[in-house]
Amino acid sequence: MSTRLHALCCLAIVCLASAGVHAADPEEAGRFARAIMKHVNAARFDCPQELLDRYPERSVLCGSLPSDFSRFKSSWEFNMRRQNLPGPVRPESSWVKRGGIYVRDYKVAGADVTILFNDEKNRLAIAHAVLDAGETDLARASEDSANGDAQKLKPRMAGFGGVTNPRLIQDSRVEPIYPEQPHADGVEGSVILEVVVRTDGTVGDMSVLRCRPEGAGFEEAAMAAVKQWRYEAGQYKGEPVDVTYPVYLEFTLASAVTAPVPE
């Protein structure tokens, strides 16, 4: 084979490889969904069961927004133009309104993502593909092995890769004590925590994902209350596992719980 012919064959192989179908990356789809929630300042909450049932093979994120669909769409398109979101992203459909809900399908790194916006309640939902159980195990084992600790698994993310969400035992719910100064000043707030729910249903480590306003004592009040909550543990393959789980708390003057006045 001549040198020129050999070079042309190699070039053809490279072109075919670059044009080939790449495996879908559900992890990138998950990062994409979380990035949207962050960019539009969505306050996360537990998705309704009917929505989870509609997308049984996907993870679904839900959040409430301070804006309507037109503002959400403007923010979304701005971030797309600025390439502020993980990708690559390819639209699979146009926005379609079905019964008061705007819906649009995408492919993100080859994985399915559906965005839903309830224009009546200003609520956003994003259903994205996830790794199946076997892929999740391999990814986690690889990560743990790289860290030199294959026996000690990190808490799994609830709602991903076959891991179920923990369920709050309502009788254990303790309402947070409204911070004294914000209550006196008529200031309301909200806190989003990420907590670790252990296999025995107790709450372990937690961190503040978002607090508004900051520095007013809402973070401390929320964490002190949630630490006392108890859950039915999340499960993986029918067995309880430690999971990370978002918790949203709202401080409103109308339903404020204040500390008792000392006698």
- State the Cα–Cα distance between residues 82 and 39, nearest whole angstrom: 12
Residues of the chain with pLDDT under 50: 1-22, 133-152
How many other C-beta atoms lie within 10 A of the C-beta of residue 125? 23
Assess contact for 230 and 172: CB atoms under 8 A: yes
Equal CATH topology for 26-129 and 154-255: no
- State the Cα–Cα distance between residues 39 and 232, nearest whole angstrom: 32
Topology of the domain covering 26-129:
Double Stranded RNA Binding Domain (3.30.160)
pTM equals 0.51
Tokens of 141: 């084992």
Residue 6, SS3?
A: helix
What pLDDT, on the 0 to 100 scale, is given for residue 205? 93
What pLDDT, on the 0 to 100 scale, is given for residue 155? 86
**181-221, pLDDT tens digit by residue?**
999 999 999 998 889 999 999 999 999 888 889 899 999 99
Q: What separation, in Å, do the N-terminal and C-terminal C-alpha atoms of the chain show?
A: 98
What pLDDT, on the 0 to 100 scale, is given for residue 132? 52
CATH superfamily of 154-255: TonB (3.30.2420.10)
Domains of the chain, residue spans: 26-129, 154-255
What pLDDT, on the 0 to 100 scale, is given for residue 140? 47
- State the Cα–Cα distance between residues 118 and 126, nearest whole angstrom: 12
